[in-house]
Structure 1
Amino acid sequence: MRSCDLVIIGGGPAGLAAAVAAKKKGINDILVIERDERLGGILNQCIHNGFGLHTFKEELTGPEYADRFIRQVQELGIVCQTNSMVLNITSEKKVTVLSRTEGMQDIQAKSIILAMGCRERPRGALNIPGYRPQGIYTAGTAQRLVNMEGYLPGKEVVILGSGDIGLIMARRMTLEGAHVQVVAELMPYSGGLKRNIVQCLEDYGIPLKLCHTVIDIKGKQRLEGVTLAEVDENGRPIPGTEEEYCCDTLLLSCGLIPENELSQGMGVRMNPVTNGPVVDESLETSIPGVFACGNVLHVHDLVDFVSEEAKCAGECAADYILGQLDKAGKRGIAIEVEGGIRYTVPAEILPERMRGNLKVRFRVGNVYRNCYISVYLDEKRIAHKRKQIVTPGEMEEVILEKEQLEGASRPEKIRIVLECGEKQD
């Protein structure tokens, strides 16, 4: 068994940013483990632009954004092991890795950062009736085929789900010469960013049908068509609303699931809403010295936010290794949510460990208009921000100041509330 100060699981945007931050904080013994043959994660297949506006103040493609961090990792001399699969992590932070070149390894880490990213929800989880013919792909698989393998999956396309990957692939398939007939969305709102709806659908005349889903798949060997139907408020198809589409390709963009099998296996406390770990203000999980960031923690809409979060995780992991991050005997303050807010990251705050202002991110569970986001310390309201619209597809945030949470005025609980129909003070 070898030992290592910091082991980072995942060499995507979160893992790379965390590694750079930890190195700059003085941690030299760092190992980044990546299962793919190259670093960069999902960014390698995201050849569209729009990345880096917050982080680098310029518009980059996915590979360009990844390259910025890969170069930093190389310049800092951080060790990265690709083509390696982590099989198990124990609560004592022992990592078991299987590598093509190194074989089976056991690595004892002082600290671990979980940055495994997320995966797409497969068709099997959607319970669509019909056969299983060729021509059905998740949107991410199709993106890899088109952008990295040079293979166009089909010519006549229907997309189920309006997540950002599905919206982007509607445009990408169109640019490659395919005909995208429709994007169907089960919910009464899109799960993607507004800018993607405009730039990927409206600019190309691709219709978006809300409250619609696929109820049947035609074809045995190769996909021949699908049947769409409108659904009621319970998600059940409405008889008489069926529409037939002849197509050879169905792309599924029906949500992302954080890759947390390793986290669950080591006993990390999980959030049933995000399917990611429960973390505090330092992004530390319920196991001391184990941190989480990026899409393994909660699904982000912008990679810039992933990098910002990962920087915090890397710095806090470094502080833990250096003995500067202790919560022994300290009582955290839980964050409660109300009024349509689904979760927050972090879910708990230890004011003594805050390094200044803390950004709390969250998502809502529906579309709300003309509302207010309010923050309460016990019963005292300290923030009241008006929002014209909030949607599930875009993350929201509030800022908490350290001075408000510590000392004699330390609250017992923090509440973040979505208040609709309230007049501004």
Structure 2
Amino acid sequence: MRRYDVVVVGGGPAGLAAAVAARAGGRCSVAVVERDDALGGILNQCVHNGFGLVTFGEELTGPEYAARWADAALEAGVEVLLGSMVLDVSAGPEGPGVTCVSAERGVERLEAGAVVLAMGCRERPAGALGIPGFRPAGVYTAGCAQRMVNCEGLLPGREVVILGSGDIGLIMARRLTLEGAHVACVAELMPYSSGLKRNVVQCLDDFGIPLLLSHTVTRVEGRRRVEAVEVSRVDGAGRPIPGTEARYPCDTLLLSVGLLPENELSRAAGVELSPTTRGPVVDDSLMTSVPGIFACGNVLHVHDLVDYVSQEAARAG
């Protein structure tokens, strides 16, 4: 067992900004617990630019933005525990604490004066959509495909349909096109795109990729591998309109249908969650309903820009 003044769960943009802010006075001990083997979180797979305009006044890629915060954390004297999976966050008689496990150190307990939850968010998976058909290979979330292409050098498919016009889906439409795949269309259930306007222009319009508003995927064909998807127009209530079906032959379906705050640890710790944001309920200092446990970033609510994540996390720290 070890004791710190502050333990931050998550080494992404929120966790790093919170840790740097907590160490700003130079008098407290701060540890960041990160399950991956490198700091930066999801930014490490976001090789496109557009980050840092608010925070640094210049346009950076995701890895560049992450590297600046990682360097700042290390220079500030933050202790970093990589490859460590947090199993439990709980409040004890002397304050909150974190139980984590790693291959190097085994199971250990980190007692703290305060814990900052900065686990980020996750994508809504295929199982949440209830699309008719079998469960063939070739159905990915957009973030999973992004990691495959940008970090592992793998192309998920050659003929692609994307469901959902979230920013990750829009960016992957461009990324896959640049890698030689053909993106047949991006289907969006709502009558407007859920992504930033600049991404619609730069990722779809500039590459001639059609955006089908008020459309959704109503069937996936194929048993072993995706062979085609059926895309239908929907009415004002989001229900498919019979007779509007169009078949798109493809070997890959990407899902960009929303992000959810990653709050299993928060719930297990007894933190009250908001039914609106699905993140913790916090006060003006970003403390949750459990004394000594704070939350910030996308684990609190999904942000449009990572710069806003860093600003909010600095307040929590």
**If the TM-score is normalised by the length of the shorter chain, which range does it land in?**
over 0.9
What residue in structure 2 maps to residue 26 of structure 1? 26
What residue in structure 1 maps to residue 73 of structure 2? 73
State the structure with more CA Rg. Answer: 1
1:243 is aligned to 2:246: yes
Normalised TM-score (structure 1): 0.73
| Paired residues of 1:91 and 1:267 also in contact (CA < 8 A) | no
1:188 Cα deviation from its structure 2 partner: 1.6
Q: Deviations over 1:129-162 (max 9, x none)?
A: 1011111100000000000000111111100001
What residue in structure 1 maps to residue 82 of structure 2? 82
What stretches of structure 2 of length at least 5 have no aligned partner?
none
1:163 to 161, 166, 170: 166
Residues 183-194 of structure 1 correspond to what in structure 2 (within 5 A)? Answer: 183-194=186-197
What residue in structure 1 maps to residue 303 of structure 2? 300
| Paired residues of 2:97 and 2:115 also in contact (CA < 8 A) | no
1:288 Cα deviation from its structure 2 partner: 1.8
| Paired residues of 1:5 and 1:27 also in contact (CA < 8 A) | no
| Paired residues of 2:8 and 2:19 also in contact (CA < 8 A) | yes
Report which structure shows greater RCO (CA 8 Å, sep ≥6).
2
What stretches of structure 1 of length at least 5 have no aligned partner?
315-425
Distance in 2 (alpha carbons) for counterparts of 1:237 and 1:25: 57
Evaluate the alpha carbon distance shift between residue 27 and residue 187 of structure 1 in structure 2; reply closer, same or farther with a 3 A threshold: farther
Percent identity, please.
66
Distance in 1 (alpha carbons) for counterparts of 2:4 and 2:73: 17
Distance in 1 (alpha carbons) for counterparts of 2:135 and 2:46: 27
User: Does the residue aligned with 2:8 lie in a helix, a strand or coil?
Assistant: strand
1:108 is aligned to 2:94: no
Residues 357-372 of structure 1 correspond to what in structure 2 (within 5 A)? Answer: none
2:138 to 132, 135, 138: 135
Distance in 1 (alpha carbons) for counterparts of 2:286 and 2:97: 20
Residues 91-106 of structure 1 correspond to what in structure 2 (within 5 A)? Answer: 91-92=91-92, 93-106=96-109
Distance in 2 (alpha carbons) for counterparts of 1:305 and 1:95: 26
What residue in structure 2 maps to residue 120 of structure 1? 123
Runs (4 or more) in structure 1 with deviation over 6 Å come to: none
Normalised TM-score (structure 2): 0.97
Distance in 1 (alpha carbons) for counterparts of 2:193 and 2:287: 32
2:259 to 256, 261, 271: 256
The number of equivalent residue pairs is 314
What residue in structure 2 maps to residue 281 of structure 1? 284
User: Does the residue aligned with 1:271 lie in a helix, a strand or coil?
Assistant: coil
Distance in 1 (alpha carbons) for counterparts of 2:73 and 2:231: 47
Distance in 2 (alpha carbons) for counterparts of 1:60 and 1:78: 24
What residue in structure 2 maps to residue 195 of structure 1? 198
1:248 Cα deviation from its structure 2 partner: 0.7
Distance in 2 (alpha carbons) for counterparts of 1:301 and 1:176: 26
What residue in structure 2 maps to residue 58 of structure 1? 58
| Paired residues of 2:115 and 2:292 also in contact (CA < 8 A) | yes
Distance in 1 (alpha carbons) for counterparts of 2:279 and 2:25: 26
1:266 is aligned to 2:266: no
Q: Deviations over 1:90-136 (max 9, x none)?
A: 13312111111110011211101000000000000010110111111
1:27 Cα deviation from its structure 2 partner: 4.1
What residue in structure 2 maps to residue 49 of structure 1? 49
1:309 to 288, 308, 312: 312
Quote the RMSD (CA, aligned, Å): 0.9
Distance in 2 (alpha carbons) for counterparts of 1:89 and 1:68: 28
| Paired residues of 2:23 and 2:77 also in contact (CA < 8 A) | no
Distance in 2 (alpha carbons) for counterparts of 1:201 and 1:142: 17
More displaced stretch, 232-241 vs 11-20: 232-241
| Paired residues of 1:121 and 1:256 also in contact (CA < 8 A) | yes
User: Does the residue aligned with 2:113 lie in a helix, a strand or coil?
Assistant: strand
Structure number having the greater strand percentage: 1
